[in-house]
Structure 1
Amino acid sequence: MRDRLQTAETVAVRDDPIDHETVSVPVLVVGAGAAGARAAIALADAGVEPLVIGKSDHGDAHTTWAAGGINAALGSLDPEDDWTIHAADTLDEGHYINDPEAVELTAKHMPDRIRELADWGMPFDRTEDGKINQRYFGAQSFRRTCFVGDRTGEAMLDTLVAKAQSMDIPYRDNVMVTRLLTDGERVAGAMGFDMESGEFVLFRSDHVVLAAGGSSALYHRHSSRADENNGDGPALALGAGARLMDIEFVQFHPTGMVGARYGEEWDGRLVTEAVRGEGGRLINAEGERFMERYSPDQMELDARDVVARAIAQEIREGRGTDNGGVYLDISHRDDQYIKDRLPSMVERFGSLGVDITEAPMEVAPTAHYSMGGVDIDSSTGETGVPGLYAVGETVAGVHGANRLGGNSLAETVAIGKLVGEHVAEQVDDTVPAVTASQRALAQREFHALAELADSEGEVTARELLADLGDILWEHAGILRDEASLREGLAELDALRARTADLRIDGDRTSREFEFAVDLSFSLPIAETMLRAALERTESRGAHYRTDYPETDGDWRRNIVMSEGPTGLDLRTRGVAEPSSEVQDAVDTGYELDYHHLE
């Protein structure tokens, strides 16, 4: 297992070749959520036929769990809003270490992307006069978040999948990529296995787009499903020679469900920010609306890091519920309004015996989103490794130190389209052939995977992933300090040593084998998180160091990581300045007035 975790090249070439399927395509898109789908649509629009592969059933990507909305400065309700203010809010929320180009591209293109989605059939909620409706989201100066009730991500992915199907874009589901095919100079495809048959697959392509999600599910308490956001995208890129950036910044959403109240299967499951956007109030066990102490102007709609730390503080100081949470109450709003605006929340909690039109929900922070990821050129998706591009939550840049709610879906379609268009320009008409050296690399990977599947030790990958989640939650969670981060690194080393005694209960189609592959992604990404958090000796956005509680102007820099000959190489890089028009919006200092909701 340790060989598999380090590199497939440590497995000797054998004389007994393993049977596998070979697929040659002009462009391979790894990941079938919104970012991968939008890049694929752009490729097809340009006359290039990509192959999209996903780990789950078609249309069942993590995008469906983004419930509350998608940002665009349409001005439906607040005509004074524009893209420069959207960009300014994004930079402010990101504490000014965002990539300004990525921010401005997203903000500038989003009105057109929203209108495009509407034209493709996305059923946005509308105002009485027929405009696309918009709601408040945390830390936004105006009502900018477009929505479909509280199932916006699901509606958006349905729309993108339907569009892709109408264009006959090829797709394969239930395929897991385990390693990119690379000779150390450029990427030439990917290797993996069919999760239903167990058959190995070699994908040969001169252009690979990674859209495989983020890393928040590494934490013990998180808002993702168990098989999503395990770090595969960043880990695949890192192993192929790409750089990672801002990996220390993990967003803890303020409102995840409390497992002790609703059952462990619900622990950490997201309660959409739309609840607070529609006027939901946070109440502690003593009946206090405690955000008045932490943010009297923006209240529950302050930045996610501020609200998450406030909730954590209330719980830590003994004002939490017996179940380890606080209350989120929307019952003061009209019953029908709640049912119209928050239908999924009404249905979910109703199934658990809670009528949210009458009673509060119990919530606590949950790991939700990775601001960091692959370091790319935002207009092209280029990673610095020839043949490899990346987009979506797999990458860094747009969000900086903390993501503005509603910007995750926005980034996927705004940057996804640009990346797809750029990749299409790089493609020629030839079908890439497979060389002998590429087959040898694939054989090494397949032998490593076969050996992994035959592991007969004493510990399961499921156990190790659970222990890894505890390490990160305890040592790289909402509050961090040097001693705890170093302890986390030591515990990570000990956990990595235990992988030598791995046991797989089942074959290559089993969940245990899938979790073992996940572990090979999660361990290196966990190390990057801990090392970057240790390196950043300040507090900024979602990264809060109790031993360095202030923001340090000298740390307005990005931490960039790559694999070196003896381990991870860390360096810092300065941040570019925004355009003059966006800087003017920053200087004006637009700000949400929460009390518009009262």
Structure 2
Amino acid sequence: MTPTRPSVASEAVQGVDDGHDVEYEEVTVPVLVVGAGAAGARTAIALQQSGIEPLVVGKRDHGDAHTTWAAGGINAALGSLDEEDDWTIHAADTYKEGHFVNDPKAVELVAKEMPDRIRELDEWGMPFDRTDDGEINQRYFGAQSFRRTCFVGDRTGEAILETLVEKAQELEIPYRDNVMITRLLSDGSRVYGAAGYDMEDGHFVVFTAEHVVLAAGGFSALYNRHSSRDEENNGDGPALAYEAGATLLDAEFVQFHPTGMVQDPDWEEEWSGRLVTEAVRGEGGRLFNSEGERFMERYSPDQMELDARDVVARAIAQEVREGRRTENGGVYLDISHRDRSFIEERLPRMYERFQSLGVDMATEPIEVAPTAHYTMGGVDIDFDTGETGIDGLYAVGETVAGVHGANRLGGNSLAETVAIGRLVGEHVATKVCGETPTLPGGMQALARREFRALEALEASDGDVTPEEVHEAFGRLVWDHAGILRDEEGLREGLQRLRELRERTADLRVDGDRTSLAFEYAVDLSFMFTVGEALLRSALEREESRGAHFREDFPERDDEWRKNVLVRRGDTGMELSTRGVGEPSPEVQRALEEGYELNYHHLE
């Protein structure tokens, strides 16, 4: 792809603070969008179509965002196959999967918006799979009452991002790739821009902006077994917002996808935790333990393998814990009862991946186990506007909380990016005053302090590498804030977190600012912030709800139908709770109708 470079004010300047010279590039834009995945791209498109030219910055090459790893599909109540489906039932399914701590406004905005957003993507050239009569095809996904998930084989996220990037290029939206934002320039009540560095040559950059939109992903890669790349989803977005003065919401809710790849000793380590898309189960895949038992018959006889992700993940964890595990510590996922041609057509990426590893999905099962996949928690926003409570700062996508509640309905993550991204972009466009933004002296000093800290980090020459801390951190949160939790484990996790943070005082970075080691070192500050919020929120919520399961409080408690908030106080994190709103009368009626998937429709 030919890059569109930003037509913005940009110059190299030298700042002097306390006798220390810091050289940096200065870029001035009306709106800075941090994150170049689907949420950032759709927000930028809405801004550009509203007459405001944003600048999009991303940590990777343009078009290489985590969105591409979302494989199975995107939800919209089109009724291509099930005419009785509508947006109210989509919203009801989302509420039920979220265990009723979702933001009602967020849920209903997404459900209402999505049919139009799918038609829009179709008009922009997205190659959706089609039914025999030419309609956009839809498949079952876990816990959905009807076939609602639109798809492009098992590469839907990649196809969405390609479509959005092509549209952004058509609109000539400026972007800069390989730029890492390390701090928002905020005084706690307003944001004025951001500071970061160019990952290709290491030079520092200050972005002065009237408005900043965070679309930087979630924090599932805090865990040592996860479905992301190691260098993304480390909590950048929520941590940047928190440090700027925004509030985090429901950080305890982390979704463990039931089917991640296990670590076969014959495979490279990078495959461990890699997602095996829910589409495999949506197309009829079955789960078996090492004794050949189709064990979901015991846990969920009606919905079977297509029950909610938290239910299936806990069932697998229980099978493994009780000794009915495979050789590599998981269970079997088998779709070999389907014809080879069907698997090749509907699941081409999965088929090709396992073929390359010596496993033929058409004739034999694959081994899977739960993996950290998605974070329902994040920044607390107003979903009408994307506002965070900090003037000029907005957030969208997996960086925020609210749509998914305690557990995400499969296919809703991609839906949220395009539905809310459009709304936020259009709102921000109305707030741009048109005057060239300037950076107050205090914010210039803050940027220079940030750059001096990054220089000191680069020069670190202790005994502990960032990679070692990453690995220890991943084990810590998996052990103490994983699928099964309790008070003793969470408190021990917080203590271990404090001890691990102390080890970073002896950090050694083997590389300059263009190295992966330096990027990992920068990530650590985000990880410790969000990791502490996760552990403290999980300790606060004394019940089991959705993806948060407390063995010492194994039942859902109606008194805990509320959100957990985390704010930055004078002496550290401050936690509080807030009640949850009620669904609209239309959605309440859909809930009362009791729509529910019956797995045996697939038999």
Bin the TM-score by the shorter chain: over 0.9
Q: Distance in 2 between matches of 1:14 and 1:137?
A: 58
Query: Which residue number corresponds to residue 544 of structure 1?
Result: 549
Partner SS state of residue 206, structure 1: strand
Query: Which residue number corresponds to residue 511 of structure 1?
Result: 516
Residue 359 (structure 1) shift: 0.9
Q: Which amino acid aligns with 2:229?
A: R
Partner SS state of residue 347, structure 1: helix
Q: Which amino acid aligns with 1:224?
A: S
Query: Which residue number corresponds to residue 556 of structure 1?
Result: 561
TM (normalized to structure 1)? 0.98
Partner SS state of residue 503, structure 1: coil
Contact 2:78 2:148 in 1 (8 A): yes
Find out whether 1:347 has 2:337 as its counterpart: no
Q: Which amino acid aligns with 1:198?
A: G
Find out whether 1:406 has 2:411 as its counterpart: yes
Query: Which residue number corresponds to residue 473 of structure 1?
Result: 478
Q: Which amino acid aligns with 2:416?
A: E
Find out whether 1:236 has 2:240 as its counterpart: yes
Query: Which residue number corresponds to residue 416 of structure 1?
Result: 421
Match among 10, 16, 19 for residue 15 of structure 1: 19
TM (normalized to structure 2)? 0.97
After superposition, the C-alpha distances for 1:207-255 in whole angstroms (9 at most, x for unaligned) are 0000000000000100000111000000000000000001000000000
Match among 585, 597, 600 for residue 580 of structure 1: 585
Residue 185 (structure 1) shift: 2.2
Q: Distance in 2 between matches of 1:250 and 1:357?
A: 32
Contact 2:192 2:439 in 1 (8 A): no
Residue 190 (structure 1) shift: 0.3
Query: Which residue number corresponds to residue 122 of structure 2?
Result: 118
Match among 196, 202, 206 for residue 202 of structure 1: 206
Contact 2:188 2:390 in 1 (8 A): no
Find out whether 1:446 has 2:483 as its counterpart: no
Find out whether 1:41 has 2:45 as its counterpart: yes
Find out whether 1:305 has 2:310 as its counterpart: yes
Match among 102, 105, 119 for residue 106 of structure 2: 102
Query: Which residue number corresponds to residue 32 of structure 1?
Result: 36
Q: Distance in 2 between matches of 1:412 and 1:39?
A: 9
State how 1:27-426 maps to structure 2 within 5 Å.
Answer: 27-261=31-265, 262-426=267-431
Q: Which amino acid aligns with 1:453?
A: E
Q: Distance in 1 between matches of 2:442 and 2:551?
A: 51
Partner SS state of residue 374, structure 2: strand
Q: Distance in 1 between matches of 2:94 and 2:313?
A: 18
After superposition, the C-alpha distances for 1:496-550 in whole angstroms (9 at most, x for unaligned) are 0001000010111111110000001001110000000000000000000000000
Please tell me the root mean square deviation across aligned C-alpha atoms, in Å: 0.8
Residue 260 (structure 1) shift: 3.1
Query: Which residue number corresponds to residue 595 of structure 2?
Result: 590
Partner SS state of residue 143, structure 1: coil
Select between 181-190 and 527-536 the one with higher mean Cα deviation.
181-190
Contact 2:253 2:377 in 1 (8 A): yes
Select between 449-458 and 141-150 the one with higher mean Cα deviation.
449-458
Residue 474 (structure 1) shift: 0.2
Partner SS state of residue 21, structure 2: coil
In structure 2, stretches of 5+ residues that fail to align are 1-15
Query: Which residue number corresponds to residue 535 of structure 2?
Result: 530
Partner SS state of residue 195, structure 2: strand
Query: Which residue number corresponds to residue 7 of structure 2?
Result: none
Q: Distance in 1 between matches of 2:40 and 2:352?
A: 30
State how 1:490-501 maps to structure 2 within 5 Å.
Answer: 490-501=495-506
Residue 14 (structure 1) shift: 2.2
Q: Which amino acid aligns with 2:284?
A: G
Contact 2:98 2:407 in 1 (8 A): yes
Q: Which amino acid aligns with 1:70?
A: I
Q: Distance in 2 between matches of 1:548 and 1:225?
A: 33
In structure 1, stretches of 5+ residues that fail to align are 1-11
Q: Distance in 1 between matches of 2:146 and 2:268?
A: 37
Residue 264 (structure 1) shift: 1.6
Q: Distance in 1 between matches of 2:442 and 2:222?
A: 34
After superposition, the C-alpha distances for 1:154-188 in whole angstroms (9 at most, x for unaligned) are 00000000000000000100000000011232000
Residue 434 (structure 1) shift: 2.9
